[in-house]
Amino acid sequence: MREIHHFIDGQSKAANTGRFHNVYDPSTGKVQALVELASAEFLAEAVAGAKKAQSAWAATNPQKRARVMFAFKGLLERDMEDLARLLSSEHGKTVPDAKGDIQRGLEVIEFACGIPHLLKGEFTEGAGPGIDMYSMRQPLGVVAGITPFNFPAMIPMWMFGVAIACGNAFICKPSEKDPSVPMRLGELLQEAGLPDGIFQVVNGDKAVVDAILEHPDVKAVSFVGSSAVAEYIYAKGATYGKRVQAMGGAKNHAIIMPDADLDQVTNDLIGAGYGSAGERCMAISVAVPVTDKVADALIERLKPRVEALKVGPSLDPDVDYGPLISHEHRQNVIRWIDKSVEEGAKLVVDGRKVSFQGYESGFYLGGSLIDQVKPHMDSYKTEIFGPVLQIARAEDFESAIALPNAHQYGNGTAIYTRNGRAAREFASRVEVGMVGINVPIPVPLAYHSFGGWKRSAFGDANQHGSEGVRFFTKVKTVTARWPEGAGAAEFVIPTMK
């Protein structure tokens, strides 16, 4: 059985803990590898190596750091196909979807190539008599990222691309469900010229997470995962004096106005609701048609499309989406479909029973479409994170916008309309961090920043873009004077006279 260890100081290294976690092939349901789970002591060794290497990396001029990022970008493009197939084999998303995962991470690497410009500070000449004032951005030191299973390439790159370009050393703790891609990214960074120790991968479970949060030399932690864990990481990290950005769950609503193009809406909902088996934090999981007439017309279009979705092995080029990440997660999604029916919702398309000859043990689930979902239902309140689209009908615009505004999550949302005034009002009033107007998955590009509201995000800084640069650096402000001679002592606070 293949064993996956850790990427430390430029090479694979075993922690010798004797603890392993199964890495499955979701398409077959069979174990394909074992990933070693590290200890707190091993994490401390990784941090020590990163700290030792970081000072020289921080002293490397930003242009040279950018060249490493640029070389890394080229290697990602060179190995795109192999990386996508590796990602697909452990996660279960199709190869084209896996390429999209890598590409959206690569875009942040492209952004990080501009780090010499992004790190420029401010300067004021003559702030006072013979006094100049300037600020500079400097790296924090050793920082860490705790990343989820659903985007094993994109989200690590969202974090480490900016952090490393800013001059930090980075500890990556990927999901134990699909750890191979982050390990491979470490090898490519090494090939691109990154010094040993600047990017470390420590595989593990909660023991490693707690060790990261408690270690005094880890100055900042970036996280993406469930809201319960995000809140835990934010609270504990803050207790230990760290900067924390912790992105949590989502329940993304798409408002469909009576003037919307329902053919476009149908196409978008099929992709945004069922792509990657619904395992996206920006997936549309609730469609909100305004008026019963719109709802009935939408369901009439959606039903045959959902029933016709092709589900199968992730490497099959003809499938729409592949299996879910694990047997346990598949069972959890089924429980929420069951729950929605118990709560009184109408199951329009039932995707619970799907099986393929030769792949009976795979973690497959067909698409489900559920109508008549109400705000009081637990299945509406919860992020199901599977190939399930719920329909929550609204009487008018006000009742429609009230749904995402009242929900505990505020990650992404969309409105479909031809009315510019309605779109503008929605964008202004909706209490959600990322908004799409006739766009189903409004994930910002790399030079903007990603982040939700309410229980979808804990912390004050968004990920990547200029927000990421601010998160992974600290500001130092210098007031400089070159006096001609000693002046009289003053006992009041200095002012710029």
First to last CA, the chain: 74
| Paired residues of 143 in beta bridges | 170, 220
Helix (H) or strand (E) holding 215: none
425's CB contacts (< 8 A; 6+ apart) are none
Residue of 113, 166, 172, 281 marked catalytic: 281
Strands (E), 121-242: 123-128, 131-139, 142-146, 169-173, 199-201, 218-224
Q: Which of 107, 102, 85, 105 is nearest to 25 (CA)?
A: 85
> What single string gives the DSSP state of each residue in 314-327?
TT-TT-SB---S-H
Q: Torsion angle, CA of 317/98/416/248, rounded to 10 degrees?
A: 140
440's CB contacts (< 8 A; 6+ apart) are 254, 268, 269, 271, 272, 284, 414
Whether 281 sits among the annotated catalytic residues: the reply is yes
If you ran DSSP here, which 8-state letter would residue 265 be given? Answer: H
Quote the tokens at residue 471: 């998160």
Measured between alpha carbons, how far is 361 from 30 in angstroms, rounded to an integer? Answer: 8
Measured between alpha carbons, how far is 335 from 283 in angstroms, rounded to an integer? Answer: 19
Catalytic residues: 281
